[in-house]
Amino acid sequence: MVLRPALSDQGGPAWFITTPAGLNWFHDLWEQAQDQSDWSTYSYTTIEGGNVPAEEVEAARRTLDERTFRQEYLASFETLSGRVYPDFSDDNISDTVKDTGGPILWGTDFNVSVLAGVLGSRVGDTLHIWDEVSVTQTNTDEVCAMLKSRFPNRKVIAYPDPTGSARKTSSAGRTDHEIIRQHGFSCISPKAPWAVKDKINATNCMIRTANQQIRLFVHPRCKNTIKALKNVTYKQGADDYIIDKSAGIEHWTDGLGYLILGDFNPLHERAGKGTGIRVY
């Protein structure tokens, strides 16, 4: 409505230049151009562009999931329809995963119907999820007491839903994050909520990177977590990164995502490299 009339009286050209972002309006324009004699299309990968060193592209291949890498570095149109975690498979499931005896990493999602979460250990640069939390009709106080009783004298590091810094579930008016700390657990969470896109991409990167590295392993007993990783899907017809929550199984992958972003976020690791400082 605007560009065509503005160009018509001057006979000027128009260049539409961007990075692919799913099957959006630009993809429609790209497809339309295939059938128009006065249109043409050009595609260049990041390497072909000549502005990014090859070693940086290889670093991205190690830290991005394959779909994101193809989109951002290979100029590929990627659809988000279907599974949210498409590369999760039996390769990520192992009955050898176990509690290593170090700090217990607890990723948790606060919900009224069920308090869901995962329990895991950092093993080098991999994450081993060896158990999960699934308690209905409860509150943060009760779950913290349960974990404290189950794992006495153990260091527990919680990676909760960031909105818990304001959400109050106790009659005393304490927030969920305050309750976690009062039980003696560490609580790591940003002041602002994580972007859904970041949570999904970070989890997919742990599941399998573009260079086929696997850094997430889950014990078979974590049935809810495995079910979610295999079955959570995007909502059909919605914008990018809108998850279909009708099945109510996404709570465990949400908790897992908070843990991954809090402890395995590659941006945090790069920022703190050589300094001993990590920012949350």
The answer to whether residues 115 and 207 belong to one domain is yes
The answer to whether residues 108 and 224 belong to one domain is yes
Residue 210, pLDDT above cutoff 60: yes
230-246: per-residue pLDDT in tens?
A: 989 888 766 667 898 98
The answer to whether residues 45 and 101 belong to one domain is no
The answer to whether residues 173 and 249 belong to one domain is yes
Q: Is the pTM of this model over 0.75?
A: no
Residue 196, pLDDT above cutoff 80: yes
β-pair type (114-123, 126-136): antiparallel
The answer to whether residue 5 is domain-embedded is no
59-71: per-residue pLDDT in tens?
A: 999 888 888 898 8
The answer to whether residues 100 and 164 belong to one domain is yes
The answer to whether residues 60 and 170 belong to one domain is no
139-189: per-residue pLDDT in tens?
A: 899 999 999 999 999 999 999 988 866 655 554 678 999 999 999 999 998
Sign of CA dihedral 31, 32, 33, 36: positive
What is the percentage of the chain residues whose pLDDT exceeds 70?
A: 88
Residue 251: domain span: 90-271
User: Do the Cβ atoms of 189 and 97 come closer than 8 Å?
Assistant: no
User: Do the Cβ atoms of 251 and 257 come closer than 8 Å?
Assistant: no
Provide the domain count of the chain: 2
The answer to whether residue 175 is domain-embedded is yes
The answer to whether residues 145 and 48 belong to one domain is no
Q: Give residue 272's pLDDT.
A: 39
The CATH number linked to 262 is 3.30.420.280
